[in-house]
């Protein structure tokens, strides 16, 4: 179930005080965050689910969901009460599909969705009532939770955090990894699915991308500075396709 909020969720998303929020969290690139929010509000909030379908098609979407769920299944996380966070959840397209399958493995599941863009979360809450939306930034998850804890009771840590196609919108990967590590419980699992390095410079303008994907080895090196175990895989056949341009997807699993 979604957590009880101290004000209607619509009000939380509508009247969020970004000025105070950005003053209270650790972000070095405030302008970039505001640009991202603007981009996703104007260009994607209403269309996001259709965009994801067009990138992958339903078969590959199921494969991506299964990969994430299997990473949880075969991780050291002890099943019991599981708090999961989709970081950069957008409109919740993957949040809900992953949660549905996770619930079969871990019936005592709480699902949280954090995103910087309120209008993406508004689409999510209009579709799904059993996910708790949190406005927040990947670079300071702890600070984001603290800020929103005035509006609802939030956990201080999570057993499983995943993030899909969001890392390439964040300027500093190392900061995101450190921020996630701060809120992962012991033996907690963090899984990132994102684009491998590609050459489509125009994605920056067309899709608000900050990085043209990543070299998975570079991600491994950065992750090793923070996490005790790191595993990177590229799944053959899973590509993010857009108007004839395709980028492979890597899956990085990191244990606290
Ligand atoms: C490409 S969308 C991916 C959304 C979702 N995971 C999906 O696959 O549909 C990227 C999301 O990251 C969010 N975002 C961008 N920068 C962020 C940041 N620094 N912290 C948190 N969310 C961010 C955007 O608002 C957007 O919803």
C-alpha distances in angstroms, 42 versus 14, 97, 210, 220? 15, 25, 17, 34
Residue-level pLDDT at 204: 87
Looking from the CA of residue 49, the nearest atom of ligand 1 is: 9
Q: Is the pLDDT of residue 99 over 90?
A: yes
CATH class of segment(s) 9-255: alpha beta
pLDDT of residue 160 exceeding 60? yes
Q: What is the pLDDT of residues 31-62, one digit of tens each?
A: 999 999 999 999 999 999 999 999 999 999 99
Element (H, E) at 120: helix 118-127
Cβ contact 154:3 at 8 Å: yes
28 token code pair: 């070095």
Percent of the chain with pLDDT over 90: 86
pLDDT at site 153: 92
**Does the Cβ of 113 fall within 6 Å of ligand 1?**
no
- Ligand 1 centroid to 135 CA: how many Å? 11
Residue 1 has pLDDT above 60, yes or no: no
d(CA 247, CA 179): 27
Which tokens is 36 given? Answer: 């991202």
Segment 90-101 shows an average pLDDT of: 98
pLDDT (tens digit, 9 = 90+) per residue, 76-89?
888 789 999 999 99
Annotated domain spans of the chain: 9-255
Q: What is the arithmetic mean of pLDDT over 150-156?
A: 93
> Cα–Cα distances in Å, from 106 out to 23, 80, 180?
37, 7, 22
Q: Is the pLDDT of residue 253 over 60?
A: yes
Task: Please state the φ and ψ torsions of residue 160, each to the nearest 5 degrees.
Answer: -140, 120
> Whose CA is closest to atom 20 on ligand 1?
137
User: What whole-number distance in Å separates Cα of residue 16 and Cα of residue 31?
Assistant: 17
Distance of CA 107 to the CA centre of its chain: 22
Rounded to the nearest integer, the mean pLDDT of the chain is 94
Distance (Å, whole) CA 97 – CA 86: 11
Say whether 182 sits in a helix, a strand or coil: helix
Q: What is the sign of the dihedral through the CA atoms of 195, 196, 200 and 205?
A: positive
Q: Please enumerate in sequence order all residues whose Cβ is within 8 A of that of 117, keeping only pairs 6 or more positions apart, or say none.
A: 36, 37, 40, 41, 45, 90
Number of other residues whose CB lies within 10 A of the CB of residue 133: 26
Ligand 1 pocket member 52 (CB < 6 A): yes
Distance 54 CA to ligand 1 centre (A): 17
pTM of the model as a whole: 0.97
106 CA distance to ligand 1 middle (Å): 26
């Amino acid at each position: 179930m979604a957590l009880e909020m101290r004000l209607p969720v619509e009000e939380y998303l509508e009247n969020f005080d970004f000025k105070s929020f950005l003053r209270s969290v650790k972000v070095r690139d405030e302008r970039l965050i505001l640009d991202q929010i603007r981009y996703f509000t104007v260009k994607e909030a209403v269309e996001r689910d259709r965009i994801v379908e067009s990138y992958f098609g339903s078969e590959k979407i199921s494969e991506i969901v299964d990969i994430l769920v299997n990473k949880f299944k075969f991780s050291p996380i002890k099943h019991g009460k599981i708090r999961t966070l989709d970081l950069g959840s957008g409109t919740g397209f993957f949040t809900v599909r992953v949660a549905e399958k996770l619930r079969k493995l871990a019936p005592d599941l709480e699902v949280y969705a954090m995103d910087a863009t309120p209008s993406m979360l508004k689409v999510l809450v209009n579709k799904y009532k059993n996910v708790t939306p949190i406005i927040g930034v990947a670079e300071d998850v702890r600070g984001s939770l603290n800020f929103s804890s005035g509006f609802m009771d939030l956990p201080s840590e999570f057993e499983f955090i995943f993030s899909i196609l969001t890392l390439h919108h964040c300027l500093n990967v190392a900061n995101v990894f450190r921020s996630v590590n701060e809120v992962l419980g012991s033996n907690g699992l963090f899984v990132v699915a994102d684009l491998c390095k590609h050459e489509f410079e125009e994605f920056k303008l067309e899709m608000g991308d900050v990085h043209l994907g990543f070299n998975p080895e570079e991600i491994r090196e950065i992750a090793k500075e923070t996490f005790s175990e790191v595993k990177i895989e590229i799944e053959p056949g899973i590509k993010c396709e857009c108007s004839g341009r395709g980028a492979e997807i890597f899956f990085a699993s990191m244990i606290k």
